[in-house]
Structure 1
Amino acid sequence: MAKEPSDVMDLEDRDPNKLNQHLQVSWEDVIGEPASIRSPECAWSVSNQCFKLSKNFCYVCLSVVCAPVTAFCLGITFACLSFEQIWCRTPTLRVWKISCASIRNFVAVFAHAIIIPCTSACGYFWSEIKVKTHAISGDVDEKKDDVLLV
């Protein structure tokens, strides 16, 4: 029986969706010496090897010990999240959409019957106001209590 393509795990490309591109932890990404100050080549090489070995060893140990438990917990977490979304949030949102439809219709009728005529009348009233400005020769006596200066 042949396995489906989705059932076969790619052991080479373990981040096909590029979730952790930001995670740059190689020696060159973490350590860099400027040209103005340098450690001896032997110290640089030994430090590079120590960094790589300790990082890889620690990561393997943590992966072996913690990854299965973490994967189990994450599986449960995403199962609960999916259940909540599928069986709780989406139906509740649908109930709200149905319930609010009648309120939306009431608000639309109210707006067309009362608000739109009132705002149209106010707009017509204010559109008939004409403002003319004239330059005043001399000093204008401005006070801080003045609300409108024309």
Structure 2
Amino acid sequence: MMKGHDSEEVEIDLEDSSDPDEYDNGEEPETLWRAPPALEEEDNIHTSTLVEISDTKPLINVRDPRGINDCLKVSFEDVIAEPVSVRSGDRVWIWSNALFEVSRIWIYRIVTVLLAIPISIISGLLFAILSCFHIWMVGPCSKCILIGTRWLQSLWSLVLDVIVRPFLTSAGKCCGGFSIHMAKE
């Protein structure tokens, strides 16, 4: 946002202050929209050795370690942008930015509360069924087919070595003598 000489800087407090002096007992109340605790805070959580080595323990701080959803990193400026020639008021721009961010976060959280558990159960069942099917059906059947068609693999290798390779080698030697020279007139 470009500011002219006449514009004044406006600070909007959305009552999300992190000033510890505001609280009587010195502790900040727990809010739902705060980021997860840092690694230093997570070290203080006592867990058993079994939980620490578990493959099913969710990654709390790194939820997209492979960057699968990098395309979903959307900010207000990626969606709404005003050119220099046409501009709304500064307060309208600031409040629309704030409302965009708050609604994006809370609608995502509401939809995930409604859909995350059923979809994770369905996905878990689907992956379990597919894994079982692959391990107990596809793998053994493909091994049986490979064992049964070993003679066909040998025959195909022989056909390639005796017929196809000499033909392609001679064609390559015949065409290898050609050369193309490009000249500008």
Per the normalisation by structure 1, the TM-score is: 0.66
| Counterparts of 1:34 and 1:111, CA distance in 2 | 65
| Counterparts of 1:95 and 1:86, CA distance in 2 | 14
For residue 68 of structure 2, give the secondary structure of its aligned residue in structure 1: coil
Q: How many residues of Structure 1 are paired with residues of Structure 2 in the alignment?
A: 120
| Counterparts of 1:51 and 1:111, CA distance in 2 | 64
Deviation at 1:41, TM superposition (A): 0.9
Residue identity over aligned pairs, in percent, reads: 30
Which residue identity lines up with residue 23 of structure 1 in the other structure?
L
- Bigger Cα Rg: 1
Per the normalisation by structure 2, the TM-score is: 0.55
1:4 maps onto 2:78 in alignment: no
* CA deviation map 1:31-79 (0-9, x unaligned): 2222232221111111111111211221111111111011111111111
Q: Residue in 1 aligned with 2:20?
A: none
Deviation at 1:11, TM superposition (A): 1.7
Q: Residue in 1 aligned with 2:138?
A: 89
Sort the Cα spacing of 1:55 and 1:108 in 2 relative to 1 into closer, same or farther, 3 A: closer
Q: 1:65 aligns with which of 103, 110, 114?
A: 114
Deviation at 1:4, TM superposition (A): 2.0
| Counterparts of 1:92 and 1:111, CA distance in 2 | 27
| Counterparts of 1:111 and 1:10, CA distance in 2 | 52
1:38 maps onto 2:38 in alignment: no
Higher helix share: 1
For residue 36 of structure 1, give the secondary structure of its aligned residue in structure 2: coil
For residue 35 of structure 1, give the secondary structure of its aligned residue in structure 2: coil
Deviation at 1:110, TM superposition (A): 5.7
Structure 1 residue ranges without an equivalent (≥5): 128-150
Which residue identity lines up with residue 32 of structure 1 in the other structure?
A
Sort the Cα spacing of 1:100 and 1:57 in 2 relative to 1 into closer, same or farther, 3 A: same
Q: Residue in 2 aligned with 1:148?
A: none
Q: 2:77 aligns with which of 14, 17, 28?
A: 28
Sort the Cα spacing of 1:110 and 1:23 in 2 relative to 1 into closer, same or farther, 3 A: closer
Q: Residue in 1 aligned with 2:25?
A: none
| Counterparts of 2:63 and 2:146, CA distance in 1 | 41
